[in-house]
């Protein structure tokens, strides 16, 4: 592992009935002089953030994002949608404070999953702003759950077959914490045993193919082994950016009734701010 990286692994057993194994690793890569990625694991949060703003601001912006979630969400209990919304607001304020001290400004992606309780039912809340990603791996199948907020993705979505005009750069993003457009894509997902989640910055998926990622997650065994191999693969492919990964295995969900989707008729996606507003209004009426 190159200088400027660290790793962590552990077991999540709270709340009772949920058993997960998770590993996180971040690495500076082979060409960058500073690691501008940040990561938070544990409690209700499993998130990566990729900072932007140059040498003096990128790392501060990403750490402002993860610090907001660490400070606003419970350390061991599931979060509420209101708490997640508050964490996002604190993240925006933290990045704005960093940007105010620099000429170039600052911003950050944020992507991951959070354990939330909605009407007494435990759910995963998937959250994404920018071009970091969340993947789901079941058996030997890999599915990208998030959609990159980038000019390349937008152009690719509207491009007609046979169009050979040049594509924009993949690293030009259209949403970021700290940008004018910073609304997250959000999904609620049921807790399901036997699912492996990968959360990563573009230092991984920008250099390593989905097929290689799928192969590693299929054969690597425990989360710490998978995380280490993914970092190694990115560096082997050139290590042109900071690389951060979280690999989370849901091993056991004891009470399936408590992990059912409360949006069974329309599970994906939903607007976090609207849902929070509705929850707050219900609380005020009572």
Residue 55 lies in a domain: yes
Residue 41 lies in a domain: yes
Residue 146 lies in a domain: yes
Q: Give how many domains the chain has, as a whole number.
A: 1
pLDDT given for residue 247 in this prediction:
97
What distance in Å separates the CA atoms of residue 26 and residue 38, rounded to the nearest whole number? 8
Question: Which positions of the chain have pLDDT values less than 50?
Answer: 1-3, 256-286
Cβ partners under 8 Å of residue 9, min gap 6? 21, 22, 23, 24, 222, 223, 224, 227
pLDDT given for residue 143 in this prediction:
97
Residue 164 lies in a domain: no
**253 sits in which H/E element:** strand 243-253
Residue 48 lies in a domain: yes
Do 128 and 184 form a contact (C-beta atoms < 8 A)? yes
pLDDT given for residue 216 in this prediction:
98
pLDDT given for residue 172 in this prediction:
76
DSSP code for 150: B
User: 230 lies in which domain range?
Assistant: 6-159+169-285
CATH number, residue 88: 3.60.40.10
Its pTM stands at 0.84
Residue 1 lies in a domain: no
Cβ partners under 8 Å of residue 166, min gap 6? none
Residue 135 in tokens = 């993947």
pLDDT given for residue 161 in this prediction:
73
Residue 38 lies in a domain: yes
pLDDT given for residue 145 in this prediction:
96
Residue 20 lies in a domain: yes
Please write the tens of the pLDDT for every residue from 227-268.
999 999 999 999 999 999 999 999 988 654 444 333 233 333
* Widest Cα–Cα separation across the chain: 58
What distance in Å separates the CA atoms of residue 284 and residue 286, rounded to the nearest whole number? 5
């Amino acid at each position: 592992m190159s200088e400027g990286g660290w790793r962590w692994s552990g077991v999540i057993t709270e709340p009772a009935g949920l058993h997960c194994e998770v590993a996180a690793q971040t690495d500076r890569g082979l060409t960058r002089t500073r690691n501008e990625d940040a990561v938070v694991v544990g409690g209700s949060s499993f998130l990566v953030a990729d900072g932007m703003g140059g040498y003096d601001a990128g790392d501060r912006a990403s750490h402002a994002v993860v610090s907001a979630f660490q400070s606003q969400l419970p350390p061991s209990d599931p979060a509420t949608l209101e708490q997640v919304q508050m964490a996002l607001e604190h993240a925006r304020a933290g990045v704005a404070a960093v940007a105010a001290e620099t000429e170039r400004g600052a911003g950050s992606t944020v992507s991951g999953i959070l354990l939330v309780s909605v009407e007494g039912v435990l759910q995963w809340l998937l959250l994404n702003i920018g071009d970091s990603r969340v993947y789901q791996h079941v058996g030997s199948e890999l599915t990208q759950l998030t959609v990159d907020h980038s000019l390349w993705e937008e152009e690719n979505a509207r491009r007609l077959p046979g169009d050979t005009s040049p594509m924009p750069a993949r690293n030009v993003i259209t949403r970021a914490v700290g940008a004018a457009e910073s609304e997250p894509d959000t999904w609620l997902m049921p807790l399901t045993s036997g699912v492996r989640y990968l959360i990563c910055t573009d230092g991984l998926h920008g250099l390593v193919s989905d097929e290689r990622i799928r192969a590693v997650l299929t054969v690597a065994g425990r989360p710490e082994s998978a995380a280490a191999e993914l970092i190694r693969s990115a560096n082997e492919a050139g290590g042109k950016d900071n690389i951060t990964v979280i690999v989370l295995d849901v091993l056991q969900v004891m009470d399936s009734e408590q992990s059912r989707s409360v949006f069974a008729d329309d599970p994906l996606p939903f607007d976090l701010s609207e849902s929070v507003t509705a929850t707050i209004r219900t609380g005020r009426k009572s």
